[in-house]
Amino acid sequence: MKLNETFWAAFYKENGQLGSCPESYFIGSSKNMVIGEIECWKGVISAKLEDFNITQVRLVEVKP
């Protein structure tokens, strides 16, 4: 499954901080809508993500 351009998502750990490979992150449009987990960054976009207090997110393939 791949994210499409219409899905704005944030990657976050419980503390809301970004990190790096190979740590796992959850992906979802909100903390109540987690749709999968990722292993590694594969690209970067900029987005406004006030829900997470994060301004930089990654587009990745989601593990099945």
The three-state (H, E, C) secondary structure of 1-64, written as one string: CECCCCCCCEEECCCCCCCCCCCCEEEEEECCEEEEEECCCCCCEEEEECCCCEEEECCCECCC
Reported as a pLDDT band with limits 50, 70 and 90, residue 53 is very low
Who has greater pLDDT, 39 or 60?
A: 60
pTM over 0.75, yes/no:
no
